[in-house]
Structure formats: structure tokens, C-alpha cells
Amino acid sequence: MLAADDRRPPWACWNAAMRTRRRRRRADCRRGLFAYPVLMAADILAYDSDVVPVGEDQVQHIEVCRDLAGSFNHEFGEVFVLPKATVIDSAARVPGVDGEKMSKSYNNTIEIFEEPKAARRKSCGWSPTRGR
């Protein structure tokens, strides 16, 4: 995946997380930033999926998956199906408790094992359609 000299794969330049890191001038990009899309691609390719339903912020992962499968197929023959992303409008973006995109980094989630009191406080006045 990544060589010992830490070369970036070609798709790293358009990876949204990488662009965000660069914008914030943070150079501490971990290998997980690159490994996650590869693991996601492996999960998709293992099942020969033609169409993959994703949220709008996950489309780039399907593009990485297509790139990896295409490179592999070019080298070893037609082994993998090239999947296509399908964004379902009603589920394209899961809202957090503030109406924005749900993300732990935005601190707008309700954790599964969160204390009931804290969960109640976060969800007070929350509507799943707010922000749409």
C-alpha cells in the first residue's frame, strides 16, 4: 500500500481528509487516512458489488475503490467488478444533533453508550429534519 519512504498513493491528492489537513496546515497525516479507503474498497470488492449505496460524502471512497480495482484488473486480468456509487437522496447526509452533517469531529453525535442524562441534553430540541 504505502512504501517505506511514505509515498502517497495517487488518489491522496483529492482525498477530502487530505485536503482538509493541508488547508489547516497539519502535516501529521496518519496511515489510517490512507488505509481506511483501501479497507473499504476490499470490503466492497470482496462481494463483487455492482452498485454501492453511499452518502454523498462517501462517493470518493467508491472512486478510490474503482481506481484500485481497475489497476488490479489491468495488471492481472478481469478479476474485480468496478462498482458504481448510488447516492440515495433521502439518506445522502445523516444530520447530527445540530442539523449539520453528523461527525464525531463536529461533536454533534449521541454516542451509543452515552450517559442518559447527557444524551437527553444533546437531543433536547433536536429534529432530524432541521438543517435540510
Domain boundaries, the chain: 10-90, 93-132
Instruction: Give one DSSP letter per residue of the chain, joined into a string.
Output: ---TT-PPPGGGGG-HHHHHHHHTT-----THHHHHHHHHHHHHHTTT-SEEEE-GGGHHHHHHHHHHHHHHHHHHSS-S---EEEE-GGGSS-B-TTSSB--GGGT----TT--HHHHHHHHTT--TTTT-
CATH number of 10-90: 3.40.50.620
pLDDT of the chain along its 132 residues, tens only?
444 444 555 555 555 656 666 666 655 556 666 778 888 899 999 999 899 988 887 888 899 899 999 999 999 999 999 999 998 777 667 777 787 777 777 788 888 888 888 888 887 766 656 555
